[in-house]
Chains A and B, each alone.
Chain A
Amino acid sequence: KQEVTQIPAALSVPEGENLVLNCSFTDSAIYNLQWFRQDPGKGLTSLLLIQSSQREQTSGRLNASLDKSSGRSTLYIAASQPGDSATYLCAPDQTGANNLFFGTGTRLTVIP
């Protein structure tokens, strides 16, 4: 069974800093990998989806990379803002049917 690890579990940074969130997964046979953010009391918001054939995806201040063979993905957030404070989850998809395996997330706090 796929196991997903996210490091660090929690991160606190001052506003304006660039930061990297790490995700590792044990089974590299994936179709794609998604990064989500989860705000307290709310559902998940999809941030980026990287197909297994891609190495990175960018959306605004976010850049996600994927090294499928080594079972790693990173989410880079540039010029962090207080509104970025949330829990960030990575989720590889084993089957292409959104049978997602979630890590326990990285709780990010951006201090104004």
Chain B
Amino acid sequence: GAGVSQSPSNKVTEKGKDVELRCDPISGHTALYWYRQSLGQGLEFLIYFQGNSAPDKSGLPSDRFSAERTGGSVSTLTIQRTQQEDSAVYLCASSLIKNTEAFFGQGTRLTVV
């Protein structure tokens, strides 16, 4: 597609359940990033994938969070045993290579009840 696509756009889940969020980056972009934006707070970096290199997971808030990127394209962010504090908008971005403009998807709004 023309832009970064994320699904679902909205997700409501019960506390303790696992969720998977999907990101389709712009075709040909080698770098992919996940961020989250909690209510009333700024955007927070979570994880970064660059090509086939090991991902930079330094922003993941706990071991309940994991992400993978299959075939250098689609990425899935998984949150296990969700907690209410995980409620946020999760944004995915891609860029052609590192140190270039980042293009963001519209985000997935996650609500944990």
Number of A-B contacts (CB under 8 A): 68
Give Cα distance in the complex from A2 to B49, angstroms.
21
A86 contacts chain B at the CB level, 8 A cutoff: no
- Contact status A97-B50, CB under 8 Å: yes
Question: Chain A contact residues (Cβ within 8 angstroms of B): what range?
Answer: 20 to 34
- Contact status A44-B101, CB under 8 Å: no
Q: List 6 A-B contacts (CB under 8 A).
A: A49-B101, A89-B42, A97-B56, A98-B95, A98-B99, A100-B43
Contacts of B48 in A (CB 8 A): 97-99
What distance in Å separates the Cβ of B79 from its nearest Cβ neighbour in chain A? Answer: 19
How many chain-B residues does the 8 Å CB contact rule pick out?
28
What distance in Å separates the Cβ of B99 from its nearest Cβ neighbour in chain A? Answer: 4
Contacts of A4 in B (CB 8 A): 42
Task: Among B41, B56, B101, point to the contact of A99 (Cβ < 8 A).
Answer: B56
Task: Among B42, B45, B59, B100, point to the contact of A105 (Cβ < 8 A).
Answer: B42
Name, among B41, B58, B99, B103, the residue most crowded by chain A CB atoms within 10 Å (CB to CB).
B99
Task: Among B35, B45, B99, B107, point to the contact of A96 (Cβ < 8 A).
Answer: B99
